[in-house]
Amino acid sequence: MVSAGDFRNGLTLEIEGTVYQIIEFQHVKPGKGAAFVRTKIKDIINGGVVEKTFRPTEKFPTARIDRKDMQYLYADGDLYNFMDPESYEQISIGKDIAGDAMKFVKENEVCKVNSYNGSVFAIEPPISVELEITETEPGFKGDTATGATKPAIVETGAQVMVPLFVNQGDRIKIDTRTGEYSSRA
């Protein structure tokens, strides 16, 4: 059990039968009245974000979230197939659960599959991936001083903005949290 006075970002709790993750919190001590904790919490099952306030003495049970490394095998229509590298057990996860998390992930890469009570609710791709540019316009010499960017399509089919000096066939690193180009590989 965790009291509201001990909240921290990233903590997962069970509140009124629903599992929430704390996105941000703030301890408030007004001039009059009792102190309270103002939070912004996210429902991990449906993704909705809610703002709630709690008394610092309220207690909630922590929710056990399982984060397991699984290898991405292939996409089959609206399903992504993953394999546990230890037991070789395979699972299929729908595009509605995966969302945009898979747009920079190639086959055979390892992702974290998050589940609660055996039900998968999210996929965490690797923080940085190395991909090849399959399609982009050629850059021109002398255009690099402005820091301008151009669109490029990577081997997974996702579009990313890259500097003008990057050409088709180059390998680049992409930060999957922001979806932005980070460097040449």
- What's the chain look like in SS3? CEEHHHCCCCCEEEECCEEEEEEEEEEECCCCCCCEEEEEEEECCCCCEEEEEECCCCEECECCCEEEEEEEEEEECCEEEEECCCCCCEEEEEHHHHHHHHCCCCCCCEEEEEEECCEEEEEECCCEEEEEEEEECCCCCCHHHHCCEEEEEECCCCEEEEECCCCCCCEEEEECCCCEEEEEC
The domains located in the chain, with CATH, are: 2-60 (2.30.30.30), 66-124 (2.40.50.140), 128-184 (2.40.50.140)
Q: Per-residue pLDDT tens, the chain, 185 aa: give them.
A: 888 888 888 788 888 888 888 889 999 898 888 899 999 998 887 778 899 999 988 999 988 888 899 999 998 888 999 999 999 999 998 888 887 888 888 889 999 998 888 888 888 889 889 999 999 888 666 655 667 888 899 998 889 998 888 888 999 999 888 888 888 87
